[in-house]
Amino acid sequence: MNKAPTRRGAPQEFLLNAVSTKTNSCVIWPFSVGSHGYGQVWWNNKMATRKENEGDKLHTGARAAGERNGHSKLSDQKVRKIILDSRTQRVIAAEFGVSQSVISFIKSKKIWKHIHEVES
Domain ranges within the chain, ordered by starting residue = 10-60, 66-119
How far apart CA 46 and CA 52 sit, in angstroms, is 11
Q: What is the pLDDT of residue 41?
A: 63
Read off the pLDDT of each residue in 17-44 and give the average, rounded to a whole number.
Answer: 71
For 71-87, the pLDDT digits (tens) are 789 999 999 999 999 99
Q: What is the pTM of this model?
A: 0.50
Under 8 Å between Cβ of 36 and 85:
no
